[in-house]
Amino acid sequence: MNPETISAVQAFAAVTFILMTAALGVVGLRWAWNHTGRPAVPEPGAELQGVLARLEESEQRIAELEERVDFSERLLAQQSEALKLEGPK
């Protein structure tokens, strides 16, 4: 083999070794990152789902309160009509 071929093979082996070491390092770092005691990152949509659930609950409560106000208004209107029909005492 001529020296140029040997030199090219050595360079290829060195580059391959460096790339494999870097790849194994990345895999090792990702494994360590995933297995540490850090808090889990919530899913991006999880917070939005919580907000939507609270909004729907608030809308339901508002609807119930509107029904109560309507009932109270009808009750007061009936009392007012009864007082008008009786006249002053």
What residues does each domain of the chain span? 1-27
Cα–Cα distance between 32 and 65 in angstroms, integer? 53
| Planar angle of CA 80, 86, 68, nearest 5 degrees | 20
pLDDT at residue 41, rounded to an integer? 66
Cα–Cα distance between 56 and 8 in angstroms, integer? 68
Q: What is the mean pLDDT of residues 62-79?
A: 93
pLDDT at residue 62, rounded to an integer? 97
Overall pTM surpassing 0.75 (yes/no)? no
Q: What is the mean pLDDT of residues 11-39?
A: 88
Alpha helices in 1-89 (DSSP H): 3-34, 44-86
